[in-house]
Structure 1
């Protein structure tokens, strides 16, 4: 005697794989089991296409998360307005999406044999996908909790969250998910149960995952609703505030502390905070709603399957329908609806989880990110182009330069480009064109400069620098002109030329000269 189709007897299979994942029921001396996977019998054929489409939505969400993380890492802060709460939340959602993307890329086998699903001990893909799904879900809940807590402290308690809160958030936001995923994998484990992604097993799952996860989700909702309640209270109080002191500036005065603000001033402060944080508030509500929805649906589905295992009579009408119709599952889908969550509900959960990355880009992304990437891509090819030529540019570069700017050598200051027109701008001073060594220090400096230019020109194989200033008229600068740097000249002030009274210090020498080192002699 054998089990009726489509059921299979477990005596033909070994006790390997995830044995607890089998759906079996005793039938006389036999133990008949439903073929693996269970979703193939409880849902229509379109279930596979629906789960694949949901995984592709998770791929799109992952691309959005990667775009945000790269923008925050590469672009300047004035383009992205990055914050560690946003960065960590996006990283958490990316980790959770990887739990759906990896099975889509690897296409793993869900079943170890005809009646036994794979577990994390028999399939590495199962272990990796289950790990990312759990740690991403944990981290997502923790970071929306911390974001909600940060907003509550700023609005309701007028606290400025700083570096201490940041380190506290990092320890809590990543420490608890690390502990939670270790407890979930060792106390419960993961296996292929609904689709190509591994989910946590029923054993101890309420204690090590679902209850703690729902506790933090509930705390997040309570904190968020408390913050909203406080905002409504401040708004209503501002409507009843008719004091004249609040008609002017909305900021508290220097003589009053922030706790003594009038209702209208408090309302303006809360309104400013909400105007800056509304994106974070929206994403917190969306992710918390998704997590709670997913948790309730999955716990209900898990409880239903366990009830069928413990009480096979619950599934007897469905089993008889399969036997009568010789394994035609489409004829028995109505009876299967009492044993599993409806496919639209499961599809809604999978699609909402995959869309979290898209919501992050919609709320946390800014148009300036796209313009910043555009500017970055456009500026990369121009980085190697020379915007201007420096004084110590090479001779080859100067020859290629078609602009009418005269270039100077690094050492002597001689001109490097003989094609410059006389109208070109030059840093040489007209006094350098003087050739006579007579006439004081200025003329002697000019003579030295001309000798240097002539010596350098003679060593350049006949190439000489044109003298653009040889034909210009000499310029005699006034004695007391300070319009350009000049060497010190021995010109003394004559009181007789002005209306000032002549005066000489007692220790002045001939000509009124005062020795600065002798001024302090006792």
Structure 2
């Protein structure tokens, strides 16, 4: 840590710097750690920037980069998950718009930690002033991605909890209206929230190389609404879980016999209202088996958001310069003056002033684990098989070729190889045929699994001569000869219609 010049120190004791030596030319002015000293001609002295260098042991800034690298690994997994949703058929991924949008929100948070890792921004504008979004472009981008991603995660978690609650508790299957409403609600709310937060509060370097929201009006603009949606999603999730437990307990105590099997839905004779407890339990059990991944990721994401919000708000409140903080920090500040800026001797006095280093690193690392949770709960092992099949198909298509004689054979039909020459028509061995038109297949339709369905030649159908599956002209039928049977010639036509019908 380089020692500042005596001109910057002014009349302030070491290691403090005189605030009047640094005009208000930009940066996050409220982020300065300054205090007035009435006994020294009403001077205001400030700690050098960044203030975390004085409240945490050496190497704290480098250890916060662990969270950045965790987000790099999580970003790779998130990209793999999104590419699987886009490229692979739905039978491998079981993709859903709620899962895709939630993963995109996690990607924005991961980018907020990856960009500073590559750009290496300067945290301080001058010796006592930290940079903010007005003086650092990296700060503005990383802070915007962090706020937007946090909003997107909470809103889409709420939408998923609402959809699960409607399906299990109210037997309402979300349709197109819920789809369009979720898309509008899930992306417009984060955009509006980001615009309000940046315009009213802003972001700056608080700790580490990622910009976080400032203290002024942060609780009203960001943390309050964010925690409100998280709380609503958590309440919906708990109500859904409570309903499942209620149905399970009721099914155990139900003694009425059931006639419908577990795989049958209520028919016209058995309405939903008259379903027994055991039938309701079977229906809820199926929904839970299908939706347990979504329910789990809702609980995990809400727990992460609440943990990050509680820790950061408490850190934010503990670093605000006021008379209470100055009175609480007097032993530590006095120690720094007496030790001539040797912070190692004064570390015991900082325990009650800021959160411990372990808690800060934990909240940053846990925030970076969102990508791992997405892959764990939204990913499937079938995706690996889907990618293997995808690349195997690509290799096969590259190895396929068309012979140079194919054009000549297609022009001269006499050169085709005949399977049979005794039938009434020529049976020609044709190349592979597509049984379904390309327009009728989409990325959601299952592909053929067997190798023979894709690459074996289609055999031409040979119609038997004795087949009556289609009408024949009368000229091809032979008249009945009574001499070829034991019938008497005089009995021809008795009791029978002698008119000949086509076979």
TM over 0.5: yes
In structure 1, what is the Cα distance between the partners aligned to 2:320 and 2:280? 54
The more displaced of 331-340 and 247-256 is 247-256
Residue 277 of structure 1 deviates from its aligned partner by 1.0
SS in 2 for 1:199: strand
Residue 491 of structure 1 deviates from its aligned partner by 4.9
Change (3 A) 1:426 1:266: same
Question: Given the alignment of the two structures, is residue 135 of structure 1 paired with residue 140 of structure 2, yes or no?
Answer: no
1:231 to 210, 228, 244: 244
Contact 2:157 2:298 survives alignment (8 Å) = yes
Alignment partner, residue 414 of structure 1: 414
Contact 1:246 1:262 survives alignment (8 Å) = no
Change (3 A) 1:309 1:349: farther
Q: How do residues 478-517 of structure 1 correspond to structure 2 at under 5 angstroms?
A: 490-491=475-476, 493-497=478-482, 501=493
Count residues in correspondence: 441
Question: Given the alignment of the two structures, is residue 312 of structure 1 paired with residue 326 of structure 2, yes or no?
Answer: yes
Contact 1:251 1:265 survives alignment (8 Å) = no
Change (3 A) 1:181 1:253: closer
2:421 to 419, 429, 450: 429
Change (3 A) 1:491 1:316: closer
In structure 2, what is the Cα distance between the partners aligned to 1:185 and 1:260? 54
In structure 2, what is the Cα distance between the partners aligned to 1:306 and 1:115? 16
Question: Given the alignment of the two structures, is residue 35 of structure 1 paired with residue 48 of structure 2, yes or no?
Answer: yes
1:325 to 339, 346, 367: 339
Change (3 A) 1:206 1:410: same
Alignment partner, residue 369 of structure 1: 383
SS in 2 for 1:384: helix
Residue 268 of structure 1 deviates from its aligned partner by 1.0
In structure 2, what is the Cα distance between the partners aligned to 1:206 and 1:410? 75
TM-score (norm 1): 0.79
1:298 to 308, 312, 320: 312
The more displaced of 222-231 and 376-385 is 376-385
Q: How do residues 270-285 of structure 1 correspond to structure 2 at under 5 angstroms?
A: 270-285=284-299
1:382 to 384, 396, 416: 396
Change (3 A) 1:22 1:246: farther
Alignment partner, residue 79 of structure 2: 66
Alignment partner, residue 109 of structure 1: 122
* Structure 1 residues 54-100: Cα deviation after superposition (integer angstroms, max 9, x where no partner): 11111111111111000000000000000000000000011011111
Contact 1:25 1:309 survives alignment (8 Å) = no
Structure with greater Cα Rg = 1
SS in 1 for 2:397: coil
Considering only aligned residues, what root-mean-square deviation do their CA atoms show, in Å?
Answer: 2.8
Question: Given the alignment of the two structures, is residue 197 of structure 1 paired with residue 210 of structure 2, yes or no?
Answer: yes
* Structure 1 residues 273-316: Cα deviation after superposition (integer angstroms, max 9, x where no partner): 11111111111111101101111111111111115477522221
TM-score (norm 2): 0.82
Alignment partner, residue 12 of structure 1: 21
Contact 1:250 1:264 survives alignment (8 Å) = no
Q: How do residues 164-313 of structure 1 correspond to structure 2 at under 5 angstroms?
A: 164-245=177-258, 248-249=261-262, 251-254=264-267, 255-308=269-322, 311-313=325-327
Q: How do residues 143-182 of structure 1 correspond to structure 2 at under 5 angstroms?
A: 143-182=156-195
* Structure 1 residues 7-26: Cα deviation after superposition (integer angstroms, max 9, x where no partner): 11112212121111111011
1:25 to 24, 35, 55: 35
Residue 428 of structure 1 deviates from its aligned partner by 6.0
Residue 380 of structure 1 deviates from its aligned partner by 1.5
2:404 to 389, 394, 406: 394
Question: Given the alignment of the two structures, is residue 343 of structure 1 paired with residue 337 of structure 2, yes or no?
Answer: no
SS in 1 for 2:49: coil
**Which has the higher relative contact order, 1 or 2, with Cα contacts under 8 A spaced 6 or more apart?**
2
In structure 1, what is the Cα distance between the partners aligned to 2:281 and 2:369? 34
SS in 2 for 1:26: strand
In structure 2, what is the Cα distance between the partners aligned to 1:54 and 1:334? 26
SS in 1 for 2:273: helix
Alignment partner, residue 461 of structure 1: none
In structure 1, what is the Cα distance between the partners aligned to 2:323 and 2:132? 19
SS in 2 for 1:69: helix
Contact 2:169 2:243 survives alignment (8 Å) = yes
Contact 2:133 2:203 survives alignment (8 Å) = yes
In structure 2, what is the Cα distance between the partners aligned to 1:492 and 1:314? 114
1:124 to 107, 130, 137: 137
The more displaced of 300-309 and 215-224 is 300-309
Residue 253 of structure 1 deviates from its aligned partner by 4.0
Change (3 A) 1:142 1:491: closer
* Structure 1 residues 299-350: Cα deviation after superposition (integer angstroms, max 9, x where no partner): 1111111154775222211111111111111221121122111111111100
Contact 1:80 1:365 survives alignment (8 Å) = yes
In structure 2, what is the Cα distance between the partners aligned to 1:82 and 1:189? 36
SS in 2 for 1:297: helix
Question: Given the alignment of the two structures, is residue 90 of structure 1 paired with residue 75 of structure 2, yes or no?
Answer: no
Residue 171 of structure 1 deviates from its aligned partner by 1.0
The more displaced of 110-119 and 49-58 is 49-58
Residue 504 of structure 1 deviates from its aligned partner by 7.2
Unaligned runs of 5+ in 2: 1-9, 427-464
Change (3 A) 1:20 1:309: farther
